[in-house]
Structure formats: structure tokens, C-alpha cells
Amino acid sequence: MNDALYALELDGSEPLSATAVKAVAALCDRTEDGAGHPVVALHVTGAPAGGWADGLDVMLVTKWERALRRLERLPAATVAVARGDCGGTALEAFLAADVRVAFPDTRLLLPRDTTATWPGMAGYRLVQLAGAARIRRAVLFGRTIEAAEALALGIADELTDDPAATLAAVTELVAELSGKEVAIRRQLLFDAATTGFEDALGAHLAACDRALRQVAGAAGEAS
């Protein structure tokens, strides 16, 4: 494994469990505590079978959603690589990444039972990425999203049989960047979709001031 990566594998065919929550939390711990590891890699595959929600409770689901939100805010670039059928925890982690790469055989599946699709935050993230109109049938009825469609909708950024090359390219792209600053830019990006200009201006100006202070500090150290 590239020493510039922290990696985690998630199997969406496994029911959501405390073990999955702890695995994501541990990955976040390593990333937040580490230095010189600008990229986090998630390898996801598998979709849950019928009855996957048996034994779940809302407390565990809440812990899982909080772990994903922490993953989504890491001071590092995150890359998710999906292969085969992806649903459940695999799909949810995939959608939380900065860069989403899929093998050509990938299919994204929203879990459903006899009454409806699962109302977790995967539906929210799909709408944020693709728009409500274009993702309506998947969110409401559980229609499968094939790899080519995921690419066309912006849910996947790239289809490839060689994800290692993509991981290497992303690692090179962010090698000189500050993970903390990447996290700030990501939050500004998230806020842009829901915040009016006047409300967003303050946060952007604060980030600009922070960047200018860093430039001035670097110039002072160099002189």
C-alpha cells in the first residue's frame, strides 16, 4: 500500500454494525493524528440482502451517520473505489468521498424492503450530487444505478479498471496541499449549495484572510 494512503475496506453485504462504525472512526483517528498522509482510500463493494435491517436500532444508525459525517470532514482528500454491487454501508461511504471511482461493473443500489427504500443519508447525498429530478426513481423506488449512468450523473467521477493509477494521481495532486485547508475548502463547497451569497461571504472572507496570513508568514520566514 502506498505510504501516502490510509485505507479501509467496507463490505456492504454485511449488516450495519458497531464494528463498521468503529472501523470508520479508527480510520478518522489515524488520519487526524497522522502527518504526511494526504489521501484516504476507501474500497467498497457488496450490497445487503433481504432482512438486512433486522436488529438495527436508531442509536446505531445515528452513530454510523456521525462517523460518515466525520469522514466527510477529514483534513485529507478522500477517494472511494467501488466494485460490483454496492449498497448499504458500501454505498453510503462511497457517496461521502471527495473523489468517487468505480469499476465498469459497478452498480449502486439503495436498500429496500417490502414497503420502501431505506431513508438514510445516502438519498440526501445522491440528491446533492445529481439533483432531485435525475435521481428520483432511485431514491423513491430503489432503481439500480449502473456505472455509466453514475458517471453521467456526477455520482462517480471516473470509471476505470485501474484504480491504483487514480489513487496515485490524486495523491500527487494533493501532495503539497494542507489537509486542514482542504477541509476548509470542502466546507465552503458544501455551504455554497445551500447558503445565500451574503451569508456565505463572511466564511469566504475569513478563509481568504487565513490564506493571506499564511502567505505573509511564509514570506517572513523566507526573508
**What are the tens digits of pLDDT across the range 98-141?**
999 999 999 999 988 768 888 889 999 999 999 999 999 999 99
User: Rounded to an integer, what distance in angstroms lies between the CA atom of residue 136 and that of residue 113?
Assistant: 18
User: Rounded to an integer, what distance in angstroms lies between the CA atom of residue 92 and that of residue 100?
Assistant: 12
Q: What does the pLDDT look like over 150-183, one tens digit per residue?
A: 999 999 999 999 999 998 998 888 888 888 888 8
Provide the whole-model pTM. 0.88
User: Rounded to an integer, what distance in angstroms lies between the CA atom of residue 41 and that of residue 186?
Assistant: 17
Tell me the CATH number of domain 5-174, given options 3.90.226.10, 3.40.50.300, 3.40.50.1010, 3.30.450.30: 3.90.226.10
Domain ranges of the chain: 5-174, 179-222
Cβ neighbours of residue 1 under 8 Å, at least 6 residues apart? 7
For 209, 213, 216, 223, the CA distances from 220, given in Å and listed in that order, are 16, 10, 6, 5
